[in-house]
Amino acid sequence: MTAPRDNDSDVAAEGDVAAGAADGASHRPTYSTLSVIMPVFNERSTVAEIVRRMRAVEIPLVLQLVVVDDGSSDGSEKVLGALEDSTVRVITHHENQGKGAAIRTGLAAATGDLILIQDADLEYDPDDWPRLLDPILKGKARVVYGSRFTGERKNMLPLHWFANRMLSFTTNLLYRSTLSDMETCYKLFDAKAIEGITIVSNRFDFEPEITAKVLRRGHRIYEVPISYAGREVDEGKKITWRDGFSALAALVRFRFSKEF
């Protein structure tokens, strides 16, 4: 990784030029494998169905599923044991460490030239994968986010809606971006675009951390509309209002960090 310069605006400006060349329509690399990293924590009722849906999606790539069981205690681990095969690799954390830690483990095991993050609940639909892949396969982008605010959605609680919008606004203010949904789970990367990035966040602050580091590297994030079927707390929703404050702190922290 190139050492950061003292003048952040110079880095951003040069990054924009590089991104324009690398992320432009004339750049069309060849991809062969999509690695999907899926953290799992106590999702016994949904994990088999989400794996079935992932296997059923038709994409022009070899599929590698890296499932990280992050210390589940509800029987998810037994379900995952039955699902593991040549396309599904299960890695186990014996204690719960958090979403960011699980993704960090998954990234170390992923071998694809494209990396996608997938939640183990049914809020995000793998049928949206082709829509996410399209800009990258056409050479329009190297990083694609699925936006819940430009597509179909249901059951997003008012507090979550407000927090998501505020965090996206803060991201745009700090990083000169135009994102509508920074906190989305659906983040798709050309593996080389995030090569060398070290994830230090253990919980849901993974989302602002990876976004901050990708933007500071000069990559433009391409957004596509996705569907979203949100859960409520009594249905297993794990993120809380406290995580919103952690995300805000992470956005500020990684804006001025010397590592990106």
**Token digits for 212?**
């901050």
Q: Write the burial class of residue 207 (CB in 10 Å: 0-12 exposed, 13-18 middle, 19+ buried).
A: buried
Tokens 């639909």 found at: 125
Q: Does the model's pTM come out above 0.75?
A: yes
pLDDT tens by residue, the chain, 260 residues: 333 333 443 333 334 434 444 454 456 789 999 999 999 999 999 999 999 999 999 999 999 999 999 999 999 999 999 999 989 999 999 999 999 999 999 999 999 999 999 999 999 999 999 999 999 999 999 999 999 998 766 666 667 778 889 999 999 999 999 999 999 999 999 999 999 999 999 998 999 999 999 999 999 999 999 999 875 555 555 566 576 788 999 999 999 887 66
Residue 120, token pair as written in the block: 């183990």
pLDDT of residue 102: 98
Q: Are 250 and 171 in contact (CB under 8 A)?
A: no
Cβ neighbourhood burial of 198 (10 Å; 0-12, 13-18, 19+): exposed
